[in-house]
A and B are shown apart, each in its own frame.
Chain A
Amino acid sequence: MELVDYLPIALLTLLGIAFAGVSLVLARVLAPSNPTPEKLAPYECGIVPLQEPVQRFPVKFYLVAMLFVIFDVEIIFLFLWAVRMDQFGWAGIATVVAFMLMLIETLAYAWKRGALDWNVSHRTRTRRVVAPEATIEKAA
């Protein structure tokens, strides 16, 4: 791809930035601004939030994100193979399979060990300890 071919991309980028910028400025200029404390409060289905949520997101999200990054990097390498797949032939396939097998085996290990289970409670024998705050919140 020649550098000139990036011109549409650059134009599109500029267009996107311009659209966002113009929208923001227009909104600021045209929209009436009359904030009250009630309007600024976070909307929670009409119920007034009393405190910050006790727990943020579960760690499981992070594990999934981490797996995503690792396989994303793998994809980058596979992409290089894909552009010349026909030329590399079986030797290329063997190389790539060797590359992938290790990660796939580890993924199988993680899967088997329950690292990917979203709801772990039915697998573990010990009961989950519920934080006292959470109980209170539920009761309230």
Chain B
Amino acid sequence: MLLATASPLMFFEIATPRRDSSGPAASMSNSEPSTPTGDDQGREQARLVAAMARGEKSALSALYDSLSRPLYSLAYRVVNDSAEAQDIIQEVFLQLWQKAGTYDSSRGSVFGWAATLTRNRSIDRVRMRKRRAELLAESAPDLQPASPSGDLDSSASLWVQEKATAVRSALGQLAPEQQKAIELAFFSGLTQLEIAAKLNEPLGTIKARIRRGLLKLKETLPTRL
């Protein structure tokens, strides 16, 4: 599926640094030279944001179609509540709409921007909603790749699903303790100390695991999914 549907995967071309041609992404790209690349997808996202800055609502609609699913999934993963996740997504897209003029593609991809906004708002919600003690007790991320749900037949869902598969695969290549540290760091909203306490490890060990895990993830994730 990954090789057959190339266009949605190219979104991440701008999100991750380009590696050398030895990776799977290179072979994918070489096998389908006529397929739109990740660079094209990234430029398309940036173009939509630029159009939004000019007040074009159709651009917002198109961007929503592309990003709502992974962003909603992220919000839901953090807050574990559908209504709250919807509120977060609404806030994020309205912020993207209003702040579109400030987007600078040289500072990162549209997806990176939107995902960061979604994660931060989700974590803020969780922190407001729960006391720290509850957070420590309840935020045990599911490290197993979850089964996809929803409408997998739509093209938007398809490309997101394929990218998600690639990310999960990359996470799966990490040592289990690195995986856990990365997941907690991203989804839980815990501090370094809280992560160390939760995993019952020294703080230095946790820092090292996050560093090694993220660097490996950066190397493993194909630049062209």
A binds B: no
